[in-house]
Amino acid sequence: MNEKLLAQWCAEIEADPTKIGSLFPAAAREVGRTPGTSAEPGAERVEDGVRLRLLVALGGALAGDPDTLSTEVHDLYRFGDADERRAVLLGLGDLDDALGDRALDLVHDALRTNDPRLVAAALGTYALRLDDAAWRQAVLKCLFVGVPLRLVAGLERADDELRRMVADYAAERRAAGREVPADALSFLPAPTQTTRES
């Protein structure tokens, strides 16, 4: 990774936040990327780290202007490819204090996709701002698209309603003759042995 170039870009964004619009897409090509490709939803990649540094620089430059920060973040997401959108979602936790709830719509958008990488990236610490109903649906979405629940922030938030939803999901899978993901099993009560009375 070209640390010198990355530091230069961060300084440019701090001086002129609008520069992130051109630098963010070029990050993987110009500064550094992980060789090959990875389909693993939670895989750590060099290009993500580069883009997160750019987002932190943006957050610092616009710390006192949350509406402009929100506009810049939304533009990066809206006009970005899947990799850029993933990086934006991963960076929301670092921008949490500055953004407030202004980027929750990006989390909702990612959760409407069936891309496990976007779903996983959306469920970092920023997603703890979701209300209870939306958060439960997000956890269920992870089970549907194969995102490991270890990537979901705040699983201690799980409640009886989520356990009921997961139990219904598991019952549907079993009725269809399909395997229940191990992550779902962790929400269900352990099977008990029953004896038949004579």
Structure tokens at 7: 């530091």
pLDDT given at position 198? 37
Tell me the one-letter amino acid at 44.
Answer: E
Query: Which long-range CB contacts under 8 A does 175-184 form with residues at least 24 apart?
Result: 181/143, 181/146, 183/142, 183/143, 183/148, 183/149, 184/143
Please list, in sequence order, all residues whose beta carbon lies within 8 angstroms of the beta carbon of residue 69, skipping any fewer than 6 positions away: 58, 59, 62, 63, 95, 98, 99, 102
pLDDT given at position 72? 98
User: Residue 36 class from Cβ within 10 Å (0-12 exposed, 13-18 middle, 19+ buried)?
Assistant: exposed
Per-residue pLDDT of the chain (198 residues; tens, 9 = 90+): 789 999 999 999 999 999 999 999 999 888 887 876 666 677 788 899 999 999 999 999 999 999 999 999 999 999 999 999 999 999 999 999 999 999 999 999 999 999 999 999 999 999 999 999 999 999 999 999 999 999 999 999 999 999 999 999 999 999 999 999 898 988 877 654 444 443
pLDDT given at position 37? 61
CA-CA distance, 149 to 143, in Å (whole number)? 8
